[in-house]
Amino acid sequence: MNQPFSIRQRALELGFDDCRIAHSRELTEQRERLSEWLSSGRYGGLHYMQRNVDKRIDPGLLMKGTRSVIVCAMGYKRAPAPQPFLNHIASYAWGKDYHLVIREKLKQLLHDLQTAYPGSAGRVFVDTAPLLEKAWAVEAGLGWIGRNSLLIHPVLGSYLLLGVILTTVELPPDAPINGSCGSCRRCLDACPSGALGEDRMLDARRCIARRTIEEATPGEEGELHGWIFGCDVCQRVCPYNRQAPESRHPELDPLPDLLTLSPQAWLSLDEETFRSRFHDSPLARCGLSRFQYRIRAYLHSTDPSKEAPLDDVIRSSQE
């Protein structure tokens, strides 16, 4: 395993859909964009983004001696659910917590790398450190930042879960790709809260995903457009996602309880039952009381029996 192709091949064998390598360096060009985003207040309630700015720019400050950044991606595109209720929950949250799934795969990949390069050091990250995962994915050649502010892979689209390995091994880097959204602006036009900017920066103050996951603020429910947990609008209208393959990973399949519980059944759950069924789900982060609060708001503002099938909604937005 002493060639980048072999490392990538091992990543594919472990279940990743793609894996690329970047040379570790200080991302000086990202410092200005991050500073602009923070100074404009668009970080919203994500106050942790104000901390460790230097580490976000330079992975060598996260792990001394870092020479290479390995970025792995898993696609999680799903077909729309037959029940309208579930389509108001971001599709990444339908299955097991991806942090758990990806971390185990990264740990195995790092073990294999260290076996091939004895004495090397490494660390794995899945949204657990001040690391600009999307910026490193661009640097490594996995895709580009689209107008929806997300990483867009030319084949997998933007329904992507990312994991990163920092290693002291000097690996030949992959080249960035010249991808583009062209003149398409479907995501900007479709965003119900106007959270997407022309500069490809997200305004977290307006983002429905942030407001339904990161914090609960009474009075905002009327601005959530029926979303209960997260938001997929900007991804559902993206042409690259129309062509992307559906997830092939059984460990990310929707949890059976999530597929069968009706909104009314959710409202009757108690904390003990919720924890036992969804302890390893992204929904656990939200907590039962907040989740039920959003469901009540959804039922108050939406008549599920009159909602158009999601396939029709997506198709009309792409015409």
- C-beta of residue 181 within 8 angstroms of C-beta of residue 149: no
280 annotated active-site:
no
Q: Which of 127, 189, 232, 303 is catalytic?
A: 127
Instruction: Write the CB contacts of 36 (distance below 8 Å, at least 6 apart in sequence).
Output: 201
Residue 209 · residue 230 · CB < 8 Å: yes
Q: Which residues pair with 89 in a beta bridge?
A: 229
C-alpha dist (Å) from residue 248 to 16, 21, 75, 181, 253: 10, 23, 8, 26, 9
Give the list of residues 6+ apart from residue 18 with CB closer than 8 angstroms, or none.
8, 11, 12, 72, 73, 142, 153, 155, 156
Closest CA to 205 of 190, 223, 222, 187: 223
* Residues forming the active site: 127
